[in-house]
Amino acid sequence: MATTKARPKRSERLNLRTTQADKRLFETAASRQDINVSEFVLESARTRAEDILSEERHFALSPDRWKAFVSALDRPVQPKPRLRRLLSEPSVLEP
């Protein structure tokens, strides 16, 4: 179904080439959703991109590994003198 929520103004353009068969497929699917092909392709690409990126933000662990993970997070901070020294020195990238 067509969505009626407000969307940001689109100012960027993407160009792509496709086969005639893929174009027909997109047109058919878009018409079933009562949206145009551009909207169909954008929604599909956005959903796929969000799925791919969410794999980097979310992970699943077995109960034993989850327990070990939480335990590591709960451990008290241990001083790292070499890291402290490194972060207190001027960067080689700074003028």
Domain ranges of the chain: 20-88
The residues, any chain, with a CB within 8 Å of residue 39's CB and separated by 6 or more, are 30
d(CA 47, CA 68): 33
Q: Give which of 18, 48, 93 is closest to 26, Cα–Cα.
A: 18
d(CA 23, CA 16): 11
d(CA 68, CA 61): 10
Q: Tokens standing for 22?
A: 């893929």
Q: What is the pLDDT of residues 8-51, one digit of tens each?
A: 788 898 899 999 999 999 999 999 999 999 999 999 999 999 98
**0.75 cut: is pTM over it?**
no
Q: What is the pLDDT of residues 76-85, one digit of tens each?
A: 999 999 999 9
pLDDT of residue 6: 75
